[in-house]
Amino acid sequence: MDRVNTNYEVLSDEAGRPIKAWTVGVPFEDEAKKQLRNLRGLPFIHKWVAVMPDVHRGYGATVGSVVPTVGAVVPAAVGVDIGCGMIAVRTTLRADQLPDSLRGVRSAIEAAVPHGRTDNGGRNDRGAWKDSPVTHTAAWARLAEGYARIVAKHPRIGRGPELAHLGTLGTGNHFIELCVDESDGVWLMLHSGSRGVGNRIGSHFIELAKQDMERFFIHLPDADLAYLPEGTEHFDDYVFAVSWAQDFAAMNRELMLHSAVEALKASGELPPFELSESAVNCHHNYISREHHFGKNCFVTRKGAVRAREGDMGIIPGSMGARSYIVRGKGNADAFHSCSHGAGRVMSREAAKKRFTLEDHAKATAGVECRKDVDVIDETPAAYKPIDAVMAAQADLVEVVHTLKQVVCVKG
- Known catalytic residues are 340
φ, ψ dihedrals at 54, nearest 5°: -90, 15
Q: Which distant-in-sequence residues (6+ apart) come within 8 Å of 374 by Cβ?
A: none
Nearest of 118, 8, 60, 4 to residue 394 by alpha carbon = 8
Dump the DSSP string for 75-124. GGGT-SSTT-EEEEEEEEEEGGGS-S--HHHHHHHHHHS--S--GGGSTT
Rg (CA), the chain: 21
Cα distances from 120 to residues 82, 117, 231, 238, 411, in angstroms, run 21, 7, 38, 27, 14
Rounded CA-CA distance 42/94 in Å is: 51
Instruction: Classify residue 34 as exposed, middle or buried by CB count within 10 Å of its CB (0-12, 13-18, 19+).
Output: middle
Residue 344 contacts residue 377 (beta carbons within 8 Å): no
DSSP conformation class of 40: H
Residue 78 contacts residue 199 (beta carbons within 8 Å): no
Nearest of 360, 352, 356, 361 to residue 379 by alpha carbon = 360
Q: Which distant-in-sequence residues (6+ apart) come within 8 Å of 87 by Cβ?
A: 189, 190, 253, 254, 256, 257, 279, 280, 281, 282, 314
